[in-house]
Copies of this chain bind each other. A is one copy, B any other.
Amino acid sequence: MSDKMQRIVLASRPEAKPEPANFRLEDAPMPTPGKGEVLLRTIWLSLDPYMRGRMSAAKSYAKPVEIGETMTAQVVAEVIASQHDGFAVGDLVIAPIGWASHGISDGTMLEKITPGAAPLSAYLGVLGMPGTTAWVGLNDVGGAQPGETVVVSAATGAVGSLVGQLAKQKGMRVIGVAGGADKCAYAEKELGYDVCLDHRALDRKALTAAIAEAAPEGVHVYFENVGGKTLEAVLPNMRDFGRIAICGMIAWYSGAENAPPAPLVWSAILRQRLRVEGFIIFDRWNRRPDFLAEVAPLVKSGKIHYRETIAEGLENAPAAFMELLEGGNFGKQLVRVGPDPK
Protein backbone atom coordinates (compact mmCIF):
# COMPACT_ATOMS: atom_id res chain seq x y z
CA MET A 1 0.00 0.00 0.00
CA SER A 2 1.25 3.45 -0.84
CA ASP A 3 2.10 5.62 2.15
CA LYS A 4 0.44 8.60 0.53
CA MET A 5 -3.13 9.46 -0.45
CA GLN A 6 -4.47 12.26 -2.63
CA ARG A 7 -7.34 14.63 -2.08
CA ILE A 8 -8.79 17.76 -3.59
CA VAL A 9 -9.50 20.62 -1.21
CA LEU A 10 -11.40 23.87 -1.58
CA ALA A 11 -8.65 26.44 -2.07
CA SER A 12 -10.95 29.47 -2.24
CA ARG A 13 -14.63 30.23 -2.72
CA PRO A 14 -15.79 30.94 -6.27
CA GLU A 15 -17.29 34.37 -6.94
CA ALA A 16 -19.57 33.03 -9.65
CA LYS A 17 -18.53 30.09 -11.79
CA PRO A 18 -15.88 27.88 -10.17
CA GLU A 19 -12.39 28.19 -11.62
CA PRO A 20 -9.35 25.92 -11.42
CA ALA A 21 -7.82 28.16 -8.74
CA ASN A 22 -10.71 27.35 -6.40
CA PHE A 23 -9.39 23.77 -6.10
CA ARG A 24 -6.05 22.30 -4.96
CA LEU A 25 -4.77 18.71 -5.30
CA GLU A 26 -2.87 17.67 -2.17
CA ASP A 27 -0.88 14.70 -0.99
CA ALA A 28 -1.45 13.52 2.56
CA PRO A 29 -0.15 10.63 4.64
CA MET A 30 -2.14 7.41 4.20
CA PRO A 31 -4.42 7.22 7.25
CA THR A 32 -4.58 4.16 9.51
CA PRO A 33 -7.94 2.89 10.78
CA GLY A 34 -8.37 2.93 14.54
CA LYS A 35 -10.54 0.54 16.53
CA GLY A 36 -14.04 0.44 15.03
CA GLU A 37 -12.89 2.04 11.77
CA VAL A 38 -12.21 0.98 8.20
CA LEU A 39 -9.83 2.28 5.54
CA LEU A 40 -11.49 2.79 2.18
CA ARG A 41 -10.01 2.95 -1.33
CA THR A 42 -12.06 5.01 -3.78
CA ILE A 43 -13.03 3.38 -7.06
CA TRP A 44 -15.67 5.82 -8.39
CA LEU A 45 -16.25 9.42 -7.37
CA SER A 46 -19.61 11.10 -8.01
CA LEU A 47 -19.80 14.72 -9.19
CA ASP A 48 -23.13 16.49 -8.73
CA PRO A 49 -24.37 20.07 -9.24
CA TYR A 50 -25.34 20.41 -5.56
CA MET A 51 -21.61 20.59 -4.73
CA ARG A 52 -21.57 24.13 -6.12
CA GLY A 53 -23.75 25.10 -3.15
CA ARG A 54 -21.29 23.60 -0.69
CA MET A 55 -18.54 25.83 -2.09
CA SER A 56 -20.39 28.96 -0.94
CA ALA A 57 -20.48 30.24 2.60
CA ALA A 58 -24.22 30.96 2.38
CA LYS A 59 -26.65 29.30 4.75
CA SER A 60 -27.94 26.10 3.23
CA TYR A 61 -29.25 22.68 4.20
CA ALA A 62 -25.70 21.39 4.62
CA LYS A 63 -22.84 23.30 6.08
CA PRO A 64 -20.40 24.64 3.51
CA VAL A 65 -17.04 23.07 2.81
CA GLU A 66 -14.44 25.12 4.68
CA ILE A 67 -11.40 26.54 2.91
CA GLY A 68 -8.69 23.88 2.97
CA GLU A 69 -11.20 21.09 3.59
CA THR A 70 -11.70 18.15 1.22
CA MET A 71 -14.61 18.68 -1.20
CA THR A 72 -17.54 16.52 -0.15
CA ALA A 73 -18.86 13.68 -2.32
CA GLN A 74 -20.23 10.18 -2.34
CA VAL A 75 -17.90 7.49 -3.68
CA VAL A 76 -17.99 3.78 -4.33
CA ALA A 77 -15.09 2.29 -2.39
CA GLU A 78 -13.49 -0.97 -1.36
CA VAL A 79 -12.61 -1.74 2.24
CA ILE A 80 -8.83 -2.34 2.24
CA ALA A 81 -8.26 -2.51 6.01
CA SER A 82 -10.78 -3.03 8.77
CA GLN A 83 -10.90 -2.70 12.54
CA HIS A 84 -14.72 -2.76 12.39
CA ASP A 85 -16.75 -5.90 13.14
CA GLY A 86 -19.34 -5.07 10.49
CA PHE A 87 -16.96 -4.71 7.54
CA ALA A 88 -14.37 -7.05 6.05
CA VAL A 89 -11.55 -6.36 3.62
CA GLY A 90 -13.01 -6.58 0.11
CA ASP A 91 -16.44 -5.26 1.07
CA LEU A 92 -17.82 -2.71 -1.38
CA VAL A 93 -19.58 0.34 -0.02
CA ILE A 94 -21.11 3.70 -0.88
CA ALA A 95 -19.26 6.18 1.32
CA PRO A 96 -19.30 9.98 1.82
CA ILE A 97 -15.51 10.42 1.94
CA GLY A 98 -15.24 13.22 -0.63
CA TRP A 99 -12.90 14.00 -3.49
CA ALA A 100 -10.17 11.69 -2.20
CA SER A 101 -8.31 8.53 -3.12
CA HIS A 102 -8.74 7.08 0.37
CA GLY A 103 -10.69 7.72 3.53
CA ILE A 104 -11.45 6.53 7.04
CA SER A 105 -14.95 5.72 8.25
CA ASP A 106 -16.47 4.48 11.49
CA GLY A 107 -19.14 2.76 9.43
CA THR A 108 -22.08 5.00 10.35
CA MET A 109 -22.49 6.57 6.92
CA LEU A 110 -21.59 3.49 4.85
CA GLU A 111 -24.03 1.49 2.74
CA LYS A 112 -22.95 -1.96 1.61
CA ILE A 113 -23.33 -2.90 -2.04
CA THR A 114 -24.50 -6.40 -2.96
CA PRO A 115 -21.78 -7.66 -5.34
CA GLY A 116 -22.96 -8.44 -8.85
CA ALA A 117 -26.43 -6.92 -8.56
CA ALA A 118 -25.50 -4.08 -10.90
CA PRO A 119 -22.36 -2.35 -12.21
CA LEU A 120 -20.55 -0.59 -9.35
CA SER A 121 -20.82 2.87 -10.89
CA ALA A 122 -24.63 2.57 -10.97
CA TYR A 123 -24.65 2.97 -7.20
CA LEU A 124 -23.61 6.60 -7.64
CA GLY A 125 -26.17 7.23 -10.35
CA VAL A 126 -29.31 5.42 -11.24
CA LEU A 127 -29.25 3.32 -8.05
CA GLY A 128 -27.58 5.94 -5.88
CA MET A 129 -28.39 9.35 -4.56
CA PRO A 130 -29.54 10.76 -7.95
CA GLY A 131 -31.79 7.75 -8.57
CA THR A 132 -33.32 7.94 -5.12
CA THR A 133 -33.81 11.67 -5.67
CA ALA A 134 -35.64 11.03 -8.94
CA TRP A 135 -37.98 8.45 -7.46
CA VAL A 136 -38.78 10.38 -4.28
CA GLY A 137 -39.18 13.71 -6.09
CA LEU A 138 -41.52 12.31 -8.71
CA ASN A 139 -43.68 10.22 -6.39
CA ASP A 140 -43.54 11.65 -2.86
CA VAL A 141 -43.00 15.36 -3.59
CA GLY A 142 -44.57 15.69 -7.03
CA GLY A 143 -47.41 13.29 -6.29
CA ALA A 144 -47.26 12.09 -9.91
CA GLN A 145 -50.20 9.98 -11.11
CA PRO A 146 -50.76 7.82 -14.18
CA GLY A 147 -52.32 9.78 -17.02
CA GLU A 148 -50.82 13.08 -15.90
CA THR A 149 -48.27 15.19 -17.79
CA VAL A 150 -44.84 15.86 -16.32
CA VAL A 151 -42.08 18.21 -17.48
CA VAL A 152 -38.52 17.26 -16.52
CA SER A 153 -35.73 19.79 -16.89
CA ALA A 154 -32.11 18.63 -17.21
CA ALA A 155 -33.95 15.70 -18.77
CA THR A 156 -30.88 13.61 -19.54
CA GLY A 157 -28.95 14.36 -16.36
CA ALA A 158 -28.31 11.86 -13.60
CA VAL A 159 -31.61 12.66 -11.91
CA GLY A 160 -33.72 13.72 -14.87
CA SER A 161 -32.99 10.67 -17.00
CA LEU A 162 -34.45 8.45 -14.32
CA VAL A 163 -37.40 10.77 -13.62
CA GLY A 164 -38.37 10.54 -17.28
CA GLN A 165 -38.11 6.76 -17.44
CA LEU A 166 -39.97 6.20 -14.16
CA ALA A 167 -42.70 8.58 -15.31
CA LYS A 168 -43.10 6.68 -18.58
CA GLN A 169 -43.34 3.40 -16.67
CA LYS A 170 -46.08 5.00 -14.56
CA GLY A 171 -48.10 5.80 -17.66
CA MET A 172 -47.54 9.54 -17.76
CA ARG A 173 -47.04 11.91 -20.68
CA VAL A 174 -43.39 12.93 -20.32
CA ILE A 175 -41.83 16.11 -21.71
CA GLY A 176 -38.12 16.71 -21.30
CA VAL A 177 -36.13 19.91 -21.60
CA ALA A 178 -32.40 19.52 -22.27
CA GLY A 179 -29.53 21.46 -23.80
CA GLY A 180 -28.58 20.27 -27.26
CA ALA A 181 -29.99 18.23 -30.13
CA ASP A 182 -27.94 15.16 -29.21
CA LYS A 183 -29.32 15.10 -25.67
CA CYS A 184 -32.86 15.53 -26.94
CA ALA A 185 -32.46 12.74 -29.48
CA TYR A 186 -31.16 10.49 -26.71
CA ALA A 187 -34.08 11.45 -24.45
CA GLU A 188 -36.66 10.60 -27.10
CA LYS A 189 -35.02 7.53 -28.63
CA GLU A 190 -33.41 5.82 -25.66
CA LEU A 191 -35.10 7.17 -22.55
CA GLY A 192 -38.60 7.11 -23.99
CA TYR A 193 -39.60 10.77 -23.52
CA ASP A 194 -42.67 11.63 -25.58
CA VAL A 195 -41.04 14.93 -26.51
CA CYS A 196 -37.73 16.56 -25.60
CA LEU A 197 -37.21 20.27 -26.23
CA ASP A 198 -33.78 21.82 -26.79
CA HIS A 199 -33.56 24.98 -24.69
CA ARG A 200 -30.44 26.06 -26.58
CA ALA A 201 -32.38 26.23 -29.83
CA LEU A 202 -35.44 27.99 -28.40
CA ASP A 203 -35.81 31.38 -26.77
CA ARG A 204 -38.16 31.77 -23.80
CA LYS A 205 -41.19 32.53 -25.92
CA ALA A 206 -40.58 29.67 -28.33
CA LEU A 207 -39.92 27.26 -25.47
CA THR A 208 -43.16 28.34 -23.79
CA ALA A 209 -45.09 27.70 -26.99
CA ALA A 210 -43.37 24.36 -27.56
CA ILE A 211 -44.29 23.15 -24.06
CA ALA A 212 -47.88 24.28 -24.64
CA GLU A 213 -47.97 22.25 -27.84
CA ALA A 214 -46.40 19.20 -26.21
CA ALA A 215 -48.75 19.39 -23.21
CA PRO A 216 -52.21 20.07 -24.64
CA GLU A 217 -53.84 19.41 -21.25
CA GLY A 218 -51.27 21.49 -19.38
CA VAL A 219 -48.57 20.35 -16.98
CA HIS A 220 -49.58 18.54 -13.79
CA VAL A 221 -46.08 18.09 -12.39
CA TYR A 222 -42.84 19.98 -13.03
CA PHE A 223 -39.69 18.28 -11.84
CA GLU A 224 -37.45 21.33 -11.43
CA ASN A 225 -33.70 20.94 -11.80
CA VAL A 226 -32.68 24.20 -13.45
CA GLY A 227 -34.68 27.39 -12.80
CA GLY A 228 -33.89 30.04 -15.41
CA LYS A 229 -35.57 30.29 -18.79
CA THR A 230 -37.02 26.79 -18.53
CA LEU A 231 -38.90 27.67 -15.36
CA GLU A 232 -40.24 30.80 -17.03
CA ALA A 233 -41.48 28.70 -19.94
CA VAL A 234 -43.05 26.00 -17.78
CA LEU A 235 -44.91 28.28 -15.33
CA PRO A 236 -47.61 29.57 -17.69
CA ASN A 237 -48.18 26.00 -18.83
CA MET A 238 -48.82 24.65 -15.34
CA ARG A 239 -52.36 23.41 -14.80
CA ASP A 240 -54.35 24.82 -11.91
CA PHE A 241 -53.40 22.87 -8.77
CA GLY A 242 -50.20 21.65 -10.43
CA ARG A 243 -47.20 20.63 -8.35
CA ILE A 244 -43.58 21.68 -8.64
CA ALA A 245 -40.89 19.60 -6.96
CA ILE A 246 -37.76 21.73 -6.68
CA CYS A 247 -34.74 19.47 -6.75
CA GLY A 248 -32.20 21.96 -8.06
CA MET A 249 -31.75 25.22 -9.94
CA ILE A 250 -28.50 24.76 -11.81
CA ALA A 251 -29.06 27.80 -14.06
CA TRP A 252 -28.95 30.06 -11.00
CA TYR A 253 -26.24 28.43 -8.86
CA SER A 254 -23.52 30.76 -10.06
CA GLY A 255 -25.57 33.94 -10.34
CA ALA A 256 -28.92 35.17 -11.49
CA GLU A 257 -28.36 37.40 -14.49
CA ASN A 258 -31.51 37.95 -16.52
CA ALA A 259 -33.57 36.21 -13.87
CA PRO A 260 -37.22 37.27 -13.77
CA PRO A 261 -38.56 39.15 -10.73
CA ALA A 262 -39.97 37.15 -7.84
CA PRO A 263 -43.57 38.33 -8.41
CA LEU A 264 -43.65 36.38 -11.67
CA VAL A 265 -43.20 33.18 -9.72
CA TRP A 266 -45.28 34.24 -6.72
CA SER A 267 -48.26 35.29 -8.78
CA ALA A 268 -48.22 32.05 -10.79
CA ILE A 269 -48.31 30.09 -7.53
CA LEU A 270 -51.25 32.16 -6.33
CA ARG A 271 -53.27 32.41 -9.51
CA GLN A 272 -52.78 28.81 -10.58
CA ARG A 273 -52.95 27.56 -6.96
CA LEU A 274 -49.70 25.65 -7.37
CA ARG A 275 -48.03 23.64 -4.65
CA VAL A 276 -44.27 24.14 -4.74
CA GLU A 277 -41.95 22.17 -2.52
CA GLY A 278 -38.20 22.03 -2.22
CA PHE A 279 -36.63 18.79 -1.16
CA ILE A 280 -33.27 17.31 -0.33
CA ILE A 281 -32.92 13.59 -0.59
CA PHE A 282 -31.04 13.27 2.70
CA ASP A 283 -34.22 14.24 4.56
CA ARG A 284 -36.05 11.37 2.89
CA TRP A 285 -33.41 8.68 2.95
CA ASN A 286 -35.82 6.42 4.83
CA ARG A 287 -37.50 5.86 1.45
CA ARG A 288 -34.35 4.25 0.04
CA PRO A 289 -35.35 0.60 0.71
CA ASP A 290 -38.64 1.14 -1.13
CA PHE A 291 -36.77 2.80 -3.98
CA LEU A 292 -34.23 -0.02 -4.27
CA ALA A 293 -36.93 -2.68 -4.12
CA GLU A 294 -38.71 -1.09 -7.09
CA VAL A 295 -35.86 0.23 -9.22
CA ALA A 296 -32.93 -2.20 -8.76
CA PRO A 297 -34.79 -4.99 -10.63
CA LEU A 298 -35.58 -2.54 -13.44
CA VAL A 299 -31.89 -1.68 -13.77
CA LYS A 300 -30.82 -5.32 -13.64
CA SER A 301 -33.35 -6.34 -16.28
CA GLY A 302 -32.24 -3.54 -18.60
CA LYS A 303 -35.55 -1.67 -18.47
CA ILE A 304 -33.82 1.47 -17.19
CA HIS A 305 -31.23 3.04 -19.49
CA TYR A 306 -28.44 5.23 -18.25
CA ARG A 307 -25.33 6.91 -19.55
CA GLU A 308 -22.18 7.99 -17.82
CA THR A 309 -19.55 10.60 -18.54
CA ILE A 310 -16.28 9.44 -17.05
CA ALA A 311 -13.25 11.54 -16.21
CA GLU A 312 -10.03 9.58 -15.59
CA GLY A 313 -8.10 10.29 -12.41
CA LEU A 314 -8.81 12.32 -9.28
CA GLU A 315 -6.73 15.21 -10.58
CA ASN A 316 -9.29 15.75 -13.35
CA ALA A 317 -12.25 16.09 -10.99
CA PRO A 318 -12.23 19.94 -10.89
CA ALA A 319 -12.29 20.24 -14.68
CA ALA A 320 -15.05 17.63 -14.90
CA PHE A 321 -17.05 19.46 -12.26
CA MET A 322 -16.73 22.82 -14.03
CA GLU A 323 -17.84 21.12 -17.26
CA LEU A 324 -20.80 19.57 -15.44
CA LEU A 325 -22.03 23.01 -14.34
CA GLU A 326 -21.95 24.09 -17.98
CA GLY A 327 -24.00 21.08 -19.06
CA GLY A 328 -21.03 19.46 -20.82
CA ASN A 329 -21.70 16.02 -19.37
CA PHE A 330 -24.05 13.43 -20.81
CA GLY A 331 -25.75 11.40 -18.11
CA LYS A 332 -24.12 10.78 -14.77
CA GLN A 333 -20.74 12.50 -14.25
CA LEU A 334 -18.20 10.19 -12.62
CA VAL A 335 -14.49 10.20 -11.95
CA ARG A 336 -12.59 6.92 -12.14
CA VAL A 337 -10.26 7.26 -9.13
CA GLY A 338 -9.00 3.67 -8.80
CA PRO A 339 -9.35 0.29 -10.50
CA ASP A 340 -12.18 -2.17 -9.93
CA PRO A 341 -11.56 -4.77 -7.22
CA LYS A 342 -9.64 -7.83 -8.33
Question: Could you tell me which A residues sit within 8 Å of B by CB distance?
Answer: 53, 59-61, 227, 231, 236, 240-241, 246-249, 252, 256, 259-267, 269-280, 283
Contact = CB atoms under 8 A, between A and B. Distances in A.
A263 B257 CA distance: 10
A59 B264 CA distance: 13
A273 B279 CA distance: 5
User: So how many copies of this chain end up in the complex?
Assistant: 2
A146 B60 CA distance: 27
B266 A266 contact: no
Given A227-B262, A247-B270, A274-B278, 14 more contacts: A61-B240, A61-B273, A231-B266, A246-B269, A249-B263, A252-B266, A260-B262, A261-B261, A262-B262, A265-B266, A270-B280, A273-B283, A275-B277, A276-B276
B249 A60 contact: no
Nearest to A248: B270
Nearest to A284: B273
Contacts of A261: 256, 259-262
A211 to B, nearest CB: 15
A108 B103 CA distance: 71
A279 B249 CA distance: 25
Nearest to A236: B59
A53 B246 CA distance: 27
A177 B288 CA distance: 42
A270 B278 contact: yes
A252 to B, nearest CB: 4
A59 B262 contact: no
Contacts of A266: 227, 231, 246, 249, 252, 265
28 contacts: A53-B271, A59-B236, A61-B240, A61-B272, A61-B273, A227-B262, A227-B263, A227-B266, A231-B266, A246-B266, A252-B263, A259-B262, A260-B261, A260-B262, A261-B261, A262-B262, A265-B265, A269-B277, A269-B278, A270-B278, A270-B280, A272-B278, A273-B277, A273-B278, A273-B283, A274-B278, A276-B276, A276-B277
Contacts of A236: 59
A241 B266 CA distance: 18
The 10 A-B pairs of least Cβ separation, nearest first, read A270-B278, A252-B263, A259-B261, A269-B278, A256-B263, A276-B276, A275-B277, A262-B265, A246-B270, A60-B271
A331 to B, nearest CB: 23
Of A53, A61, A267, A274, which is in contact with the most chain B CB atoms at under 10 Å from its CB?
Answer: A267
A132 to B, nearest CB: 16
B267 A252 contact: yes
A261 B247 CA distance: 19
B270 A249 contact: yes
Nearest to A277: B275
Contact of A271 (B61, B247, B269): B61
